Chains A and B, each alone.
Chain A
Amino acid sequence: MKYLRFLLIIYFLQLSACDFASKDTNRDASVHQSTPIHFALSQAPLSLDPRVATDAASERVIRLIYQPLVDFDQNFKPTPKLADWQMVSATEYLVSLKSPRPLFHNQQPLNAEDVKATYDAILQLANSPLSAEYANIQKITVHDAEHLTFYLKQPDPYFAAKLIIGIMPKQLLEQQHDFARYPIGNGPLAFVKKNNKLVLRRVADGQIITLSEVKDPTVRVLKLLRGETDLLQGELPAELVKYLQTKPEVTVKTSPGANYSYLGLNMQDPMLSSLKVRQAIAHAIDRQALIDKVMVNHTRIAGAILPPEHYAGNHSLKAYDYNPQLAKRLLTEAGLSLPVKLIYKTSTDAQRVRIATILQAQMRPAGIELEIRSLDWGTFFEDVKQGNFQLFGLTWVGIKTPEIYTNVFASNHFPPNGFNRGRFSDATLDSLLEKEDWQAATDRIHEQLPYIPLWYEGQFAVSNKKITNYSPKPDGNWDDLATIRKYAH
């Protein structure tokens, strides 16, 4: 009797599964243009408040829910979005809002008071990671509904490129509205709800778009093939992308990327402070082989943080070739006995560990024994910030202005005053950075190798055949969700 009960339970579970299958088939048959578009992400946005969000997923969604004053063109130059600007003096920027402007999602108009309230809120909010970046703002004066002036404490020629915060309604800011969970902006997508997925509605046509977190890359692919998700972007291992390229039911689009992957070196390490050792490491990596084997199409060898197409990009940087014999010679000339032992820290991400393993194999013939330490993200990043490493691997994502070189390599930008995590100090480079001579500065960086450049990872998006109007962007943003279409087949 007990067995019979167990068998009945299993039987009913199967029946319910069949029931689901039939419902699903019916649903497919009635697909039309207003069917929600499902986008699966590896990491859900952590916060929808532009004042506190720092993770890539949050920043990408925030770009769609809110609108900034300024955006960037294809060459990464600041371009007007909600407003034009005029540099009245080195410390004074006049901002003029364009007309007409989209209303906030609560149907209130956006005006200069909202802009002032947004930037003031960043400076006043205790837990805003942006307050340091905007600490140079002395005051903001509103002239009328469409004009305001930012007064700076110190001259900043790149200030216009910092006007990229999504504008929030003043009235709600004053009411301490919880923007992190219930965002209200004036972007192309409006917030609907968030439970185990984020649901957005396109303002222009009411199209519903859902964003759900699916951590495992294989599961994301299975969901796409099953039709449970319509779109994936990035963060799949190359072999899964190649597998998807063989499937007729999906479309894979790739494009060149601008996010820079590199090996960071600790300049306070006695071995790595030697230029010859750094050059040896640069010659011990076969970047092209790595790109061919484990990276997606359109991945290209990198020379500097900013890609060549950037207005401050450097076209003349020549990649270090793979030459294990030369690397060995350089290590010997540096007075080291072979093999040289180095510790490489990375996260637990499968692709990162795979790259580390390949680097380890490539460096062995060059006389370098690489020990891989794969750490959970929090521990790994803490070690990087504290300078507790010899080598580490990371990627700079979404970098737009050449100021990054100063933040990362200037000798007065050691953490916590900047991102010079390798504690690199070079008077020649400091002087070039001071003069903002980006070409000469990037030449010098390439020569001195505080970073070993790897590549700009190609971007890709995979969708089913019902999806059109979506392409991957160089910095991996999701801006095309504003125009994406889903059609019935």
Chain B
Amino acid sequence: MNIIKRLTSLFTVIFGVLLLTFLLIHLVPGDPVDVMLGESANMADREALRADLGLDQPLVNQFGSYLAKLMYGDLGQSIHTQTPIIDLIKVRYPATVKLALLSLLIGIAIGVPLGIFAALKAGHWQDFVVTIVSVRLSAMPAFWLGPVLMLIFAVWLGWLPVSGMDSGTSIILPAVTLGFGLSAILTRMTRTSLLEVLNDDYIRTARAKGLSEQTVILRHALRAALLPIITIVGLQMGSLLAGTVITETIFSWDGVGRLLVESIEKRDYPVTQACVLIIALSYVLVNLATDFLYRIADPRMRYA
């Protein structure tokens, strides 16, 4: 029953997103025919191309025909390059997933240990330093942090490439740029969650039983503090999979976020719709995965 409810909600969200995107991109000024033919084209050529692209049909028909194709997994063709959109997505989406996963890994690797450390040293100077660092990191926008990292690690130290996707190490700087911001959020969240449970009775009991501090923190306290952290990780993973436009642009990383922006600039409606669909699906699936992780982390939810 729960699965049916979930799937219904999934399809409702996807349909809503598709409808909204379709309406919005048709409301925005600009016409793909103008972009393709330029201003000097005569009306006959314009109308012919508009008919060829199906843009002369009423919006309801256009949307209906789009949904019908979608049912068969056909995302359509790019208006500009005449390339099947699925081919574009096949190239761009894995790049975004790769970047998102590594960023998440870096964010967790830095953020969770730092948060635990700050919670254990709450009120001491170490906590103060971690707080300052995490606030600073979260305040650094990607368009600033990215070039700074490039300057240090690529130009001065010569360790990494500035941008592009030419080598295996090209992913490190964009992932670190995204991961730093995420780690700052996770540090704050881990610290706060852990502080809340550290004063609970069961932690006192665990300590009274003579368990080592490491066992108390990692096995008992951290597990209880994990739910809000999972929520944040899920939300951040969703937005990372949506494509981080600025980071992808700065680092010339050919991901789905960059494809989305390019398609909007060119008024390439089918590509825009496909990108939004993929992003919406990613969000919904990540949310499902988050719910699943809740159940693992908190046995009470399995019986709720």
A residues in contact (CB < 8 Å) with B: 2-3, 6, 9-10, 13, 16-21, 24-25, 46-47, 52, 54, 126-129, 131-133, 135, 180-181, 196, 212-216, 218-219, 222-223, 225-226, 228, 376-379, 381-383, 385-386, 407, 415-416, 418-419
Q: Tell me which residues across on chain B come within 8 A of A376, comparing CB atoms.
A: 264-265
Taken together as a complex, chains A and B put the C-alpha atoms of A419 and B264 apart, in Å, by: 24
Q: Tell me which residues across on chain B come within 8 A of A418, comparing CB atoms.
A: 39-40
Determine whether B200 belongs to the interface, using a CB cutoff of 8 Å to chain A: no
CB pairs A–B below 8 angstroms (16 shown)? A3-B113, A10-B109, A17-B172, A18-B159, A20-B167, A54-B38, A127-B36, A129-B36, A196-B165, A196-B252, A196-B254, A219-B163, A228-B164, A377-B265, A385-B34, A418-B40
Q: Which of B9-17, B128-136, B150-158 contacts A (4 or more CB under 8 A)?
A: B150-158
Taken together as a complex, chains A and B put the C-alpha atoms of A75 and B68 apart, in Å, by: 57
Supposing A17-B169, A181-B81, A212-B164 touch, asked if A226 and B250 sit within 8 A by C-beta, the answer is no
A131 touching B45, Cβ below 8 Å: yes
A132 touching B41, Cβ below 8 Å: yes
| Residue from B34, B37, B48, B161 in contact with A382 in the complex, judged by beta carbons closer than 8 Å | B34
Determine whether B230 belongs to the interface, using a CB cutoff of 8 Å to chain A: no
Determine whether B291 belongs to the interface, using a CB cutoff of 8 Å to chain A: no
Shortest beta-carbon distance, B233 to chain A, in Å?
15
| Residue from B41, B150, B169 in contact with A129 in the complex, judged by beta carbons closer than 8 Å | B41
> Apart from A214-B163, A378-B35, what are 7 other A-B pairs with CB-CB below 8 Å?
A13-B172, A135-B42, A180-B81, A215-B250, A219-B251, A223-B162, A228-B162
Taken together as a complex, chains A and B put the C-alpha atoms of A246 and B292 apart, in Å, by: 57
Q: Tell me which residues across on chain A come within 8 A of B41, comparing CB atoms.
A: 129, 131-132, 416
Residue of B nearest to A377 (CB): B265
Best-buried of A52, A54, A219 by chain B (most CB within 10 Å): A219
B49 touching A127, Cβ below 8 Å: yes
A216 touching B162, Cβ below 8 Å: no
Interface residues on B, range: 35 or more
Q: Tell me which residues across on chain A come within 8 A of B58, comparing CB atoms.
A: none
Determine whether B80 belongs to the interface, using a CB cutoff of 8 Å to chain A: yes
Q: Tell me which residues across on chain B come within 8 A of A415, comparing CB atoms.
A: 39
Determine whether B210 belongs to the interface, using a CB cutoff of 8 Å to chain A: no
| Residue from A16, A128, A135, A222 in contact with B162 in the complex, judged by beta carbons closer than 8 Å | A222
Residue of A nearest to B254 (CB): A196
Q: Tell me which residues across on chain B come within 8 A of A132, comparing CB atoms.
A: 40-42, 45
Taken together as a complex, chains A and B put the C-alpha atoms of A66 and B34 apart, in Å, by: 26
Taken together as a complex, chains A and B put the C-alpha atoms of A288 and B151 apart, in Å, by: 34
User: B residues 35-76 with Cβ under 8 Å of A?
Assistant: 35-43, 45-46, 48-49, 52
Taken together as a complex, chains A and B put the C-alpha atoms of A10 and B251 apart, in Å, by: 20
A127 touching B162, Cβ below 8 Å: no
Q: Tell me which residues across on chain B come within 8 A of A196, comparing CB atoms.
A: 164-165, 252, 254
Determine whether B168 belongs to the interface, using a CB cutoff of 8 Å to chain A: yes
Determine whether B249 belongs to the interface, using a CB cutoff of 8 Å to chain A: yes
B250 touching A216, Cβ below 8 Å: yes
Q: Tell me which residues across on chain B come within 8 A of A214, comparing CB atoms.
A: 163-164, 252
| Residue from B29, B49, B266 in contact with A126 in the complex, judged by beta carbons closer than 8 Å | B49
Taken together as a complex, chains A and B put the C-alpha atoms of A3 and B217 apart, in Å, by: 13
B29 touching A382, Cβ below 8 Å: yes
A6 touching B36, Cβ below 8 Å: no
User: B residues 124-152 with Cβ under 8 Å of A?
Assistant: 143, 146-147, 150-151
- 4 smallest A-B Cβ distances: which pairs? A378-B30, A6-B109, A129-B38, A382-B29
A222 touching B155, Cβ below 8 Å: yes
A225 touching B155, Cβ below 8 Å: yes
Supposing A127-B49, A219-B163, A223-B163 touch, asked if A378 and B265 sit within 8 A by C-beta, the answer is yes
B172 touching A127, Cβ below 8 Å: no
Q: Tell me which residues across on chain B come within 8 A of A19, comparing CB atoms.
A: 169
Determine whether B4 belongs to the interface, using a CB cutoff of 8 Å to chain A: no
Supposing A180-B82, A181-B81, A225-B155 touch, asked if A379 and B39 sit within 8 A by C-beta, the answer is no
Determine whether B24 belongs to the interface, using a CB cutoff of 8 Å to chain A: no
Shortest beta-carbon distance, B255 to chain A, in Å?
11
Shortest beta-carbon distance, A106 to chain B, in Å?
22
Taken together as a complex, chains A and B put the C-alpha atoms of A131 and B109 apart, in Å, by: 58
Taken together as a complex, chains A and B put the C-alpha atoms of A228 and B155 apart, in Å, by: 10
Determine whether B160 belongs to the interface, using a CB cutoff of 8 Å to chain A: yes
Taken together as a complex, chains A and B put the C-alpha atoms of A392 and B224 apart, in Å, by: 59
A47 touching B81, Cβ below 8 Å: yes
Residue of B nearest to A421 (CB): B39
A215 touching B249, Cβ below 8 Å: yes
B267 touching A378, Cβ below 8 Å: yes
Shortest beta-carbon distance, A415 to chain B, in Å?
6
Shortest beta-carbon distance, B158 to chain A, in Å?
5
Shortest beta-carbon distance, B200 to chain A, in Å?
22
Shortest beta-carbon distance, A180 to chain B, in Å?
7
B159 touching A20, Cβ below 8 Å: yes
B161 touching A228, Cβ below 8 Å: yes
